[in-house]
Amino acid sequence: MFISQAHAAAEGAPQGGGMQLFIMLGLFAVIFYFMIYRPQAKRVKEHKNLMASMGKGDEVLTGGGLVGKITKISEDNDFIVIALSDNNEVTIKKDFVTAVMPKGTIQSL
**Exposure string for 47-59, b = 16+ CB within 10 A, e = fewer:** eeeebeeeeeebb
Contact 60, 54 (CB under 8 A): yes
**Alpha-carbon dihedral 13, 19, 22, 23, rounded to 10 degrees:** -100
Contacts 24+ apart (CB under 8 A), 26-30: none
Q: What is the mean pLDDT of residues 45-68?
A: 92
Q: What is the mean pLDDT of residues 73-86?
A: 90
Question: Can you give the pLDDT at residue 76?
Answer: 83
- In this predicted structure, the answer to whether residue 41 has a pLDDT above a threshold of 70 is yes
